């Protein structure tokens, strides 16, 4: 049984859904009658209102504008709030609804209400999972150490959910550079490399010097003493002399996976 918001929200959502359908139908009729051009109609669809459920404003047209539907950030939300958002997205026929930073407890509760696949390492839950169309390009996720595993998995699972082929290379940090070099053929065949590292964060610069493709660096909060909860790795990556390195925030595996998917889908007709 799906948890629904309070009755007043249900009423507002129903009215809002009918109004949106009527507006869309009127727009399509306008195109048919030659009053509106297809390009003007597309712009209108891209800017149509979101659905307001009281505690959240759900952007159902995110996929039309971005190519990727709205992702639900699970941390700080109650199970009931997440379920309400997901239910609204399900009613619009959305598949592969991604919930990030989802705790095991919340995942267990959501699993009773929705068709949920949950990965505890990445803390990502996927509702109504369906295989996505995969572009030809390869995304490689390289993690410096085993302690970077969770952040690396957040990046890898995000990229996979968004329809990409992902190759994982873990524990290939610069303290034993031969481990990375033994997989050089895989790294150099990638369309995007995500380099995940804590400590001094040198892996991103090393990878950047080996490949021609974009490298998305993810600093992690892993490290001894004065690593400043990942700031040391962040500063190293920001100061990389490899021109193909770009940096996301500390522990932001999701952001890296998302951006890598956008890059990998460039020029893809699907």
Given this model, what pLDDT does residue 11 score? 31
- Domains in the chain with CATH codes: 7-127 (no CATH), 138-264 (3.40.50.1970)
> CA–CA separation, 268 vs 270, rounded Å?
6
Given this model, what pLDDT does residue 5 score? 36
Given this model, what pLDDT does residue 12 score? 33
127 bridge partner residues: 97, 116
**What order do you get walking across the sheet with 97-100 strand by strand?**
72-73, 97-100, 124-127, 116-119
Given this model, what pLDDT does residue 130 score? 80
Sign of CA dihedral 221, 226, 228, 232: negative
> CA–CA separation, 245 vs 211, rounded Å?
10
pLDDT digit string (tens) for 26-83? Answer: 778 888 888 888 888 777 666 566 666 666 766 666 666 666 778 899 999 999 999 9
Closest to 162 (Cα-Cα) out of 253, 75, 82: 253
Closest to 54 (Cα-Cα) out of 88, 92, 79: 88
Given this model, what pLDDT does residue 54 score? 65
Given this model, what pLDDT does residue 144 score? 95
Using DSSP, state whether 220 is helix, strand or coil.
Answer: coil
pTM of the model: 0.79
Given this model, what pLDDT does residue 128 score? 81
DSSP H or E segment with residue 141: strand 138-143
C-alpha to C-alpha distances, 87 to 4, 53, 75, nearest whole angstrom: 8, 11, 18
Q: Where are the alpha helices (DSSP H) in the chain?
A: 7-32, 38-46, 62-66, 79-91, 104-110, 149-161, 177-181, 184-188, 203-208, 231-238, 253-264
> Within a 10 A sphere around the Cβ of 46, how many other Cβ atoms?
12
> CA–CA separation, 35 vs 95, rounded Å?
34
Residues with pLDDT less than 70, the chain: 1-24, 44-55, 57-67, 133, 268-270
Structure token pair of residue 93: 């026929």
Using DSSP, state whether 228 is helix, strand or coil.
Answer: helix
User: Distance between the two ends of the chain, CA-based, in angstroms?
Assistant: 35
Closest to 4 (Cα-Cα) out of 84, 74, 109, 68: 84
C-alpha to C-alpha distances, 191 to 12, 19, 136, 167, 182, nearest whole angstrom: 45, 43, 9, 11, 19
**Virtual torsion, Cα 19, 24, 26, 29, nearest 10 deg:** -160
Sign of CA dihedral 59, 65, 66, 67: positive
């Amino acid at each position: 049984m799906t948890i629904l918001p309070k009755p007043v929200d249900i009423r507002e959502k129903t009215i809002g859904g009918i109004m949106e359908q009527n507006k869309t139908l009127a727009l399509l009729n306008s195109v048919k009658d030659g009053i509106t051009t297809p390009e003007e109609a597309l712009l209108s669809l891209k800017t149509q209102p979101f659905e307001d459920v009281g505690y959240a404003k759900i952007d159902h047209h995110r996929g039309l504008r971005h190519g990727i539907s709205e992702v639900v950030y699970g941390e700080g939300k109650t199970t009931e709030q997440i379920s309400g958002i997901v239910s609204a997205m399900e009613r619009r026929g959305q598949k592969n609804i991604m919930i990030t930073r989802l705790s095991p407890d919340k995942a267990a509760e959501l699993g009773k209400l929705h068709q949920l696949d949950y990965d505890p390492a990445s803390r990502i839950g996927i509702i109504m999972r369906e295989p996505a169309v995969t572009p030809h390009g390869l995304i490689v996720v390289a993690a410096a150490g085993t302690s970077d595993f969770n952040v690396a998995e957040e990046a890898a699972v995000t990229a996979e959910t968004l329809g990409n082929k992902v190759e994982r290379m873990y524990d290939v940090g610069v303290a034993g550079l031969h481990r990375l070099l033994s997989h050089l053929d895989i790294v150099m065949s990638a369309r995007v490399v995500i380099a995940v590292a804590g400590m001094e964060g040198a892996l991103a610069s090393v990878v950047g010097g080996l490949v021609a493709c974009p490298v998305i660096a993810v600093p992690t909060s892993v490290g001894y003493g004065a690593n400043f909860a990942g700031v040391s790795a962040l500063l190293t990556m920001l100061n990389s002399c490899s021109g193909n390195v770009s940096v996301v925030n500390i522990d932001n595996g999701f952001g890296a996976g998302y951006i890598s998917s956008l890059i990998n889908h460039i020029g893809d007709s699907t």
